[in-house]
A and B are shown apart, each in its own frame.
Chain A
Amino acid sequence: MDLYEYQGKELFRRVGIPVSDGQLVVSPEEARAATSSLGSPVVVKAQVLTGGRGKAGGVKLAESPGDAEEKARGILGLDIRGHVVRKLWIEKASDIAKEYYLSVTFDRGAKKPLLMFTTQGGVEIEQVAEENPDALVRLHVDPLEGFQPWVARRLIYGAGVEDPSEQKQIAAIMEKLYRAFVEFDAMLCEINPLIVTPQGEVKALDSKFTVDDSALFRHTDVAEWRDTSAADPIEAFAREKGVTYVKLDGEVGICGNGAGLSMSTVDVVAHVGGRPANFCDLGGGGNAQGVVDALEVITRDTQVKSIFFNIFGGITRCDEVARGILEALERLDMSRYPIVVRLDGTNAEEGRKILADAGKPNIHPEATMLDGARRAVELAK
């Protein structure tokens, strides 16, 4: 789960990383009021779950409450890389002398947390890594040893920070950022830029924070921060229904069981010349209700013209899937969708028989994954 800047900063605040005062607003009027209470000047910042806000005009300095209102009016509703701005973070403006970069990422390759630090912050870190790799200091932390003060020293001396006060403040921030990373089960905690003010104060001017979905059960307050309105509406509906679904851009609706087989089904549909409408995984169990829910989600997408069920029964029983398909035909209006069904594995024969006995004209059985994909593509034309 990706957090908005203001949410990440809230977690920073909880572990004691210095951030500027700010307020979340959703209207130009609120932006004006927030600026009055915070004191001008402020920065009006679009809250979107994507990078490149600044370049897209989503971050503006405002000199007065009236100015903030005007800037807010301009930014609200902006489309930034497909994300519509609905919320703004109004933050007290900071004077910036230097811009650094600090992050902790979950390095799945090394199977260790990775700390990265450079004094060349404020730009995309990939750019620094490419153009000036020596300036980016990287260090893995042993997850059992945890963060030790020497880790901060290696990073700070390695990056060439010389001012003793800065060194001390940054070391403390590193320790706290690592703590936030572990405490909140983060996959990524990034501060870019980590600024030094002309007065020598170090603080986080931005935040990028991703929390492991599997650990949200113990961060219930964070889990509630999820903004369903920001997601694709069909994906949001799928989440509500508990259906594993990713929207793509095509006509062939796809439903498989298991992540790997479902992904492979999407690939095979594309391989035989079709355009997959979605990825949808019934999961390990795949009972009749799950099938009905999946079909309800898939058919929310108005682009869908045909549907391909590719089921290889393991724990999932094919007869159960077949019953689910028939149940969906009764409960939802599915008459305009040709449904290609390929069943194999556990109870496949029973499943095929259930579908054959029902004699529904829009159900097209196929024997193999490849033939099923071809048929579904043909029927979507």
Chain B
Amino acid sequence: MAIIVDNDTRLVVAGLTGSEGRFHGLRNRAYGTNVVAGVTPGKGGQDVEGIPVFDTVADAVDKVGANTSLIFVPARFAADAIYEAVDAGIGTVICITEHVPAHEMLRAYTYFRGKGVTMIGPNCPGVLSPGKANAGIIPAEIFREGAIGLVSRSGTLTYQIGHELTQLGLGNSTIVGIGGDPVVGSSFIDVLGKFQDDPQTALIVMVGEIGGDEEEKAAAFISEHVTKPVLAYIAGFSAPPGKTMGHAGAIISGSSGTALAKKEALEARGIEVGTTPTEVAQMVADRVK
């Protein structure tokens, strides 16, 4: 099983002929992901090391059966690439691109949610189901296959925690980086629901950070809908209000969005929150033993 990407994933990479798209698209294929196509307008008919390139996503769907789109195009073209994928009938869209204007995501979100599409990102590292498929920029070699679902707003912090888990001999069902922007395609709740329904996942680690109220909403969702154990980590306890901490979405506005408020909301629902990445990994190890 696993969630979002697996052995049935047929990946089309938007921007495969660009430097990042090419590097990671080929890395994803080398990992064993079924990368069936690339899309670059005007470059249809070419190929990138044997991966056929099409002018449109619709062609990639029609001709090679793409069902998942991985987007690497520049920020100003990202919303267009999302709409194009959705309208071509793609069911899962993963957008790595950073700095997508928030208003564009607001409109795109409203559109694709109405169509039942699963979207991850933007400004995210992608999705990795160890042993099955990797769609994005997560360094797969850090992770191994296992029963822990990992969902995070951050990339490198996820690698840190995944690395600590691996060192303790633990593995992951799927690692999902939902992205650090104010509006992302899937919230913690969306991903937690998928992990709850995934037979491979036995325990879930949720890695949040300052800004917004998705962690608070997730706390309420977990207590009502998630029967599997959930452990959490929150980054940004030392962050000053009003400053954007790297991620566009990581900002304390007034008194809302603080790490402390998130920790308290989680703990109030009986969800343990680790103080450091190391402690979280240890807590996971203690739970599964």
Smallest CB separation, B140 vs chain A (Å): 10
Whether B248 is near chain A, meaning CB under 8 Å from some CB there, is yes
Residues from chain A with a CB closer than 8 A to the CB of B238 are 248, 263, 266-267, 269-270, 276
Tell me the dominant secondary structure on chain A's binding face: mixed
Beta-carbon contacts of B140-158 to A below 8 Å, as 1s and 0s?
0010000000001111111
B110 close to A261 (CB less than 8 A): no
Smallest CB separation, B194 vs chain A (Å): 19
Whether B159 is near chain A, meaning CB under 8 Å from some CB there, is yes
The chain B residue with its CB closest to the CB of A262 is: B246
Binds A, one of B10-18, B198-206, B273-281: B273-281
Smallest CB separation, B193 vs chain A (Å): 17
Residues from chain A with a CB closer than 8 A to the CB of B207 are 260
- Residues of chain B from 239 to 257 with CB closer than 8 A to chain A in the complex: 239-240, 243-250, 254
Count of interface residues, chain B, beta-carbon cutoff 8 Å: 60
Residue in A113, A263, A271 whose CB lies within 8 Å of B209: A263
Residues from chain A with a CB closer than 8 A to the CB of B163 are 312, 344-345
- Residues of chain A from 127 to 168 with CB closer than 8 A to chain B in the complex: 142-144
A260 close to B235 (CB less than 8 A): yes
Residues from chain A with a CB closer than 8 A to the CB of B243 are 246, 279
- Residues of chain A from 237 to 273 with CB closer than 8 A to chain B in the complex: 244, 246, 248, 256-264, 266-271
Q: Complex: how many Å from CA A108 to CA B247?
A: 14
Residues from chain A with a CB closer than 8 A to the CB of B103 are 106, 143, 182, 185, 212, 215
Residues from chain A with a CB closer than 8 A to the CB of B137 are 284, 314-315
The chain B residue with its CB closest to the CB of A183 is: B103
Across the A-B interface, how many residue pairs have beta carbons closer than 8 Å? 169
Binds A, one of B36-44, B48-56, B94-102, B219-227: B94-102
Residues from chain B with a CB closer than 8 A to the CB of A112 are 106, 110
B236 close to A263 (CB less than 8 A): yes
Binds A, one of B1-9, B60-68, B84-92, B210-218: B210-218
B155 close to A260 (CB less than 8 A): yes
Whether A370 is near chain B, meaning CB under 8 Å from some CB there, is yes
B102 close to A126 (CB less than 8 A): no
Smallest CB separation, B214 vs chain A (Å): 8
Residue in B111, B235, B240, B248 whose CB lies within 8 Å of A248: B240
Whether B75 is near chain A, meaning CB under 8 Å from some CB there, is yes
Interface size class of A (residues with CB under 8 A): 35 or more
Residue in B155, B158, B237 whose CB lies within 8 Å of A270: B237
B139 close to A313 (CB less than 8 A): yes
**Given A267-B237, A271-B275, do A260 and B76 touch, yes or no (CB 8 Å)?**
no
Whether B183 is near chain A, meaning CB under 8 Å from some CB there, is yes
The chain A residue with its CB closest to the CB of B105 is: A111
Whether B229 is near chain A, meaning CB under 8 Å from some CB there, is no
**Given A187-B102, A314-B137, do A109 and B217 touch, yes or no (CB 8 Å)?**
yes
B245 close to A111 (CB less than 8 A): no
Beta-carbon contacts of B247-272 to A below 8 Å, as 1s and 0s?
11110001000010000000000000
Residues of A participating in the B interface, judged by any CB pair closer than 8 Å: 106, 108-109, 111-113, 126, 142-144, 182, 185, 187, 212-215, 217-218, 244, 246, 248, 256-264, 266-271, 276, 279, 281, 284, 312-316, 344-346, 368-370
